[in-house]
Structure 1
Amino acid sequence: MFILNRVLFVGGIIAPQTASLPVMHFFACPCLISPKRNSPYSSVDSERYSSLVKAVMSSRVSSQTPETLQAEDEHIYGPVVKAQMPTHTERRVPKTTHPFFDYERTPEIEEPEPETPVRIPLNRGQGRSSVPSVTRVLQQTLSPEQIFYLERWKRRMISELGEEGFKEYSRNIFRQGKHFHSALEDYMTSAATAPSETPEYPPEVQGYMESISHILEDVGAVRAIESTVQHETLNYLGIVDCVARYRGVLCVIDWKTSEKPKPFLSNTYDNPVQVAAYAGALNNDKNYKYQVENGLIVVAYKDGSPAHAHQLNSELMSEYWRAWLLRLEDFTEQK
């Protein structure tokens, strides 16, 4: 006979028990092992979800939003009532397709690179007063999930900062982005005219410029900076940040700032749709004598951390072009 100390799980409480068992009857009973059941929310990356909308506001918003944290939302705001999704959904396709390229011109560049980048200013007085911008179309065709997250984030920020504090925070975000793009414009212009000179940056953008320094090393042959593009057939316009070669490939480049890391393309939300819309307009704008079939999204960080560069090849650009056509249709139907 041996004295065996056993541990029983009784109602979630560990209780020791001493029993005498013959050696011949000693065995491991499965019923004595009751593994603790994991909560369905134990694997959720709560930090990522809690900062989602705040990260969204640092650039532009996208339809690629993750699922909601039901437990957190119900605790703070009460249960969220959502319409039941259909059991069978079909992929939407644009009612009217329009080519991404102007096939009368070749996508590859044959003409020499310009000495100075082109900048076509936005002039609303030249028949453009009724032409919507890419930003406006994307903002007015947000999904219900995107609107929900934006409203939730706004309520939280106001509760922490107050109404005036939130307004000041929003103004600072806008001001930093404007200064960052201005510094980039100065850099691109000086690099084209005086490559040996290194411009000095204001303190509020030094971190951003340091963040993208390794990206700028691969950017050259700048063709356009802060230049207006317009698609006359589809009736929209936008201001493209930059058109240049990145590692030898001509791209529409969009510069973004963010408080949180965005290492994956899916973290950039609506930015790929925006870049495809700009490229499609440029390809059909007679002010530009070339075609662009690639894109680049660069996310810069204020603390100087290395920026993330997300490249969009021709296949991805075609996919996001179709997504843009759908958003444009939704915008037109709303009007």
Structure 2
Amino acid sequence: MKSTTVFRRLGERILCPKRVVNNDTAKHSIYSTNDSRTTPSEFNASPFPKFREDEMAMLTSNPATIPMLNTILKCPLDSKDWVQVSDKDDQVLKNVTSMYDSTKLPSVTRILQATQPPLNQIILARWKSKMTAKLGKEGFFHYMTQISGEGSSFHESVENFLNKIPVDIEDTGQWKSIHPVLKKVQGVHGTEFIATHSVLSYLGKIDCVALYKNKLCVFDWKLSSKKRDSLKKCFDDPYQVAAYAGAFNACHDTPNKISTAVIVKAYRDGSPADVHFLDEMVLEFYWEGWVRRLARYHVQVFNSQANDDSSNIHKWQD
């Protein structure tokens, strides 16, 4: 069995490769059967810094993707803080950009859907199966259409309120749930707009950027029938707002960068909304998780294109 050391950081399982010692023939191996201890400093000096077990499996199956993942994981929440981008990293980012049509960058929602953890995929599949059995295929389709329409109407009403336009859902439970929160939102910078991260090649539609607790935040409004009173119950929402914050920072040349975010869960039955405020430390944690998901998505696209055109591989190996 391969020997590994596992570090835990805010609940995240990270695979720490063993340091290879006194073995010229195995100097490129990521494991060692001799050394029983690996310090964090040695781990960070590894040619595979901070890669998790699933990422390591992905990389070893196609070594050409190593530069991509290695470079993307370096990007900070505000890409303008990345002041010393090496020529190699710069070329890698250009190669990533070249994989996409500039007018058809992948969205945050699409990336998160394509990189869901296996457990989340199982939960979603079971829910769809349960609802289909209950409503039938056509009934489930109509149910999803209704939910989508309700969500769009909800977002439109929130946007109108923040822009001081009268709303027409004041008597509904969802409005009773979220209205007290909206009254605390100040200094609105924008609502329902697209932000593009040209460095990391993705885009997203941001619900709102405004002041909350005297901090400039990305807001995300969510409508729910079930209680979501912890970030754990919000599934991918924290990664979503981290992605939006990074995109806003990348495409807005202002001194006011975003380092905090707010997820608001409003309830259809009128229960008080749950407000999840992600401070600087928490948002940084989810940003790290987001760039991992983003890198995996880019690798998936690269592998798909490489199967069609082997010349794509060579430009990553130059």
| Same fold? TM cut 0.5 | yes
Provide the residue aligned with 1:132 in structure 2.
106
Q: Could you report, residue by residue, the CA deviation over 1:193-222 in whole angstroms, capped at 9, with x for unpaired residues?
A: xxxxxx24237x822121012211211110
Quote the Cα distance in structure 1 between the aligned partners of 2:276 and 2:287. Answer: 17
CA change 1:167–1:321 in 2 (3 A) is same
Q: Which runs of 5+ in 1 are unaligned?
A: 1-63, 65-89, 106-126, 192-198
CA distance in 2, matches of 1:221, 1:333: 39
Distance 1:169 1:189 in 2: 30
* Percentage identity across paired residues of the two chains: 38
What is the SS of the residue equivalent to 2:269? coil
Contact 1:137/1:331 (8 A) holds in 2: yes
Q: Which residue of 1 aligns with 2:199?
A: 233
CA gap of 1:289–1:295, structure 2 versus 1, over 3 A, is: same
Match of 1:155 in 2: 129
* Matched letter for residue 145 of structure 2: R
1:80 maps to: none
1:1-335 to 2 correspondences below 5 Å: 92=52, 95-96=70-71, 97-103=74-80, 128-190=102-164, 199-202=166-169, 206-286=172-252, 290-335=256-301
Q: Distance in 1 between matches of 2:284 and 2:295?
A: 17
Q: Deviations over 1:251-304 (max 9, x none)?
A: 100000111011111111110100000000111104666311100000000111
AA at the equivalent of 1:202: I
**Structure 1 Cα separation of the partners of residues 127 and 136 of structure 2:** 13
1:218-241 CA distance string (max 9 Å, x none): 111100100111110100000100
SS of the aligned residue for 1:212 comes to helix
Q: Larger C-alpha radius of gyration, 1 or 2? A: 1
RMSD across aligned positions (CA):
2.2
Q: Larger RCO: Structure 1 or Structure 2 (Cα < 8 Å, ≥ 6 residues apart)?
A: 1
- Number of the residue aligned with 2:17: none
- TM-score by length of structure 2 reads 0.64
Cα distance in 2 for residues equivalent to 1:150 and 1:137: 16
